[in-house]
Structure 1
Amino acid sequence: MFANLINEKNQTYKNVKVGFSWTEMFFGFWTPVFRGDFKWACFLVIAEIIFGSFTWGGGALLVTFIFAFFYNRLYVKDMVKQGYKPADKTSLNILNSYHYL
């Protein structure tokens, strides 16, 4: 499911995914890098290095799997902090139903 966000200050639109992040699960820290979310990309790189080094890489896979449940919520909350708001009533209802707002 997707929701539309708008930043009224500079009139930019974002179409954001709501729910489980399949891209995060398959691509790990590259998902926040391509979205320009470098705070969470750095967090993931450090967590994957720490947990992956003790488990021959298995811990890094576990980190990306667990983080896939939370990443879209964190990304939307960061966007709201930057001034983005739901662009329409449907997006508002979607974000409220998933408890993103």
Structure 2
Amino acid sequence: MAFDRLVMANPYNGKTRYAPIGFSWTTFFFGIWPAIFRGSWKFALLMFLTAIATLGLSCLVWPFIYNRLYLNDLIKDGYRFKIAERNSSFEAISAYSRKVLPLYEEVSQ
């Protein structure tokens, strides 16, 4: 299990997503299925194509990088950090994503 799970919210459309932080055990055991269930079609296709091209060796690399890529993709799509479920420090999470996490603020319309 990842060492923490972030609650990410999009202030523009009100959607909430959960972003695990750390090694992806679900990707390790189930391959592309976690990406499919999260609706991360881009990474599901990329995992599938790299698995075919490397004869499955890439399946040993994806668990180490998938959660970070998913978190950065959520940030790019406008999601903002709301809370960490296990109270990890904000600095540790920002260092993990290698970006400064934007904080969630209500958007007045």
TM-score relative to the length of structure 1: 0.81
1:64 to 59, 62, 65: 59
Q: Residue 51 in 1 paired to residue 54 in 2?
A: yes
Look up the equivalent residue of 1:29 and give its one-letter code: I
In the TM superposition, residue 91 of structure 1 has moved relative to its aligned partner by 6.8
CA contact under 8 A between 1:24 and 1:67: conserved in structure 2?
yes
Change (3 A) 1:35 1:98: same
Q: Using the alignment, how far apart are the partners of 2:38 and 2:17 within structure 1?
A: 11
CA contact under 8 A between 1:30 and 1:41: conserved in structure 2?
yes
Q: Using the alignment, how far apart are the partners of 1:2 and 1:100 within structure 2?
A: 16
Q: Using the alignment, how far apart are the partners of 1:9 and 1:67 within structure 2?
A: 31
The unaligned stretches of length 5 or more in structure 1 are 53-59
Pairing of 1:1-101 with structure 2 (within 5 A): 1-52=4-55, 60=56, 62-88=57-83, 93=90, 94-101=92-99
Identity percentage over the alignment?
A: 32
In the TM superposition, residue 83 of structure 1 has moved relative to its aligned partner by 0.4
Aligned residue pairs total 93
Higher helix share: 1
CA contact under 8 A between 1:2 and 1:16: conserved in structure 2?
yes
CA contact under 8 A between 1:3 and 1:91: conserved in structure 2?
no
Q: Stretches of 4+ moved more than 6 A in 1?
A: none
TM-score relative to the length of structure 2: 0.76
Look up the equivalent residue of 1:49 and give its one-letter code: I
In the TM superposition, residue 97 of structure 1 has moved relative to its aligned partner by 3.8
The unaligned stretches of length 5 or more in structure 2 are 100-109
